[in-house]
Structure 1
Amino acid sequence: MSPGDEHDYRGTDQGGRGDDPYSTLGGTRQTRTRLPDGDAGHPHPRRPVRNSRSLVTITGVVVLLIAAIAFANRGGTSDDNASPGPKNPGTAGSAPTAPTGTKPVQGKNGTIPAGFAQDEQGAQSAAANYSVALGSAEMFTAESRRDIIQATHDPAVAPKLQDRLDTAYSPAFYKNVGLNDDGSTPTGLTFVSRTVPVGTKVVTMETDTATVEVWCTGLVGLAGPGSTKPVTETWFTISQELKWIDGDWKISASSQTEGPTPVNGDNRASTADEMAAAVDAYGGFTYAR
């Protein structure tokens, strides 16, 4: 996806989708800046750049989870005309990510936090936590995927979304990620798929609706000896349209854009074993503002 491209998958009357980067479930158009090798300020030479074919393969799957959600969402939702005119939040610009004095949510809907406050803080917390769930490895298993969709989405859109995702997660789709045809992980490898929110922003806020953007970094790949799909990172921003339903925020529609993406640093890439051990040892967070 070219920087700045944005696609909204709420309607079915958008016309042809030949330019849709998600039409291949995880495709992305991405450029990479290659900096000079080591100099006086960087005495250690940079890691070799992968050949173009492997780079295309890797970048083609790094956003596949959210891409699949967006692909499925394009079939339409029941919320096309539900939101009134936009209403800007209280102050312009970004709000500081700092403690508010409000305790994080205590409820759970399965493994996903629930019971968010009906205010800007609650909407941002819901959007961040839902991004984590939708970018998890559990999305690759049919049963847990359906549980995640039911926990995070408006009941009016969840059934069709589930059906489209069940179709999208095909044997060919799994193969593109390096998994077995049934979505299981090959013996001796660890499948990694995590979305990590970096920040949130309220775009519009009404009593029962909100639009929240979540800036994220993600990890996707297979860790372990002999992996042909090493764990790589990507940066993207998810826009979620939320609706207040039965005492909690639920997603009624979503879309994604690439970036903002920082310049890669000079950190040494960890070995496959180190990456697998880290995934097993470090858990995720419940996000609240």
Structure 2
Amino acid sequence: MSNAEQEEFWTDAAGPKWVTQQTQMDTLLAPVLDLVLDQAALRPGDQVLDIGCGTGVSVVAAARAVGGQGHVTGLDISETMLDLAAARLPDMTNAALLKADAQTHRFDTSFDAMISRFGVMFFNDTVAALSNLNAALAPGGRMTFAAWGPAPQNPYFMVPAKAAAGVLGPMPKTDRTLPGPFAFEDSTRILAQMAQAGLKNTDVETVSVDLTSVGDVAETAALMMQIGPAEAAVRHHGVDAETAQQVQSAVADAIAQFDTDDGLRIPACIHIYSARKPA
């Protein structure tokens, strides 16, 4: 049940890129974090576990919500991302970071709330992970997780993937039920796994939001060449710098359709999963 492959990926491959692009990614995904926090309705004094906290923006937001009498533990498998998260928390006495695997870590405390912004789709055994987390949830405690909805309804992924394929050719087909961005896209399957893990009062709300890019079309295309399917396509095909630039230009042309007077607004379909443990 080891998650060693994901640990290596998020520490050595994806982690450094997320750290470099932290400001852009935090801004882009801010509407999703807002959804999580609105649904979680954290209260002053809550003890909170933030699963897959990454570079820490969600830890900071949750710590502010629970106040000095509360506490937030940010958990992640990536030491690279936690190093940046630590740099963002020097003055927060009500927050701490934990490098651990949520599938197997034995928590020595219980939590009133568990939250996650895109941190739950990478378990290699979702049922085992959720069961382990459920054991650490206090009576009456609640879970609130954001995950990507169906891939075809998320142009942040599909549009650059199509643009890259137009230049480089198709990518091998992948099983989206495996650990990855869309592992939770089938809400019927995930709700069944939540029940299998022993979670109670489970639900999912599917929400449409606009992702908010911090940059213009060109800057966002450059970001997509660092994180996402366009980057994966360039890496898979092993292309030279000139061809990679052609891909970036194609991505920029493709995402220009989302440009507005208020900047880029990329539609997204987000699942907000929730559960509440009986009191």
Shorter-normalised TM-score: what interval? Answer: under 0.3
Q: Please report the TM-score for the alignment, with normalisation by the length of structure 2.
A: 0.27
Task: Report which of the two has the higher share of helix.
Answer: 2
Q: Please report the TM-score for the alignment, with normalisation by the length of structure 1.
A: 0.26
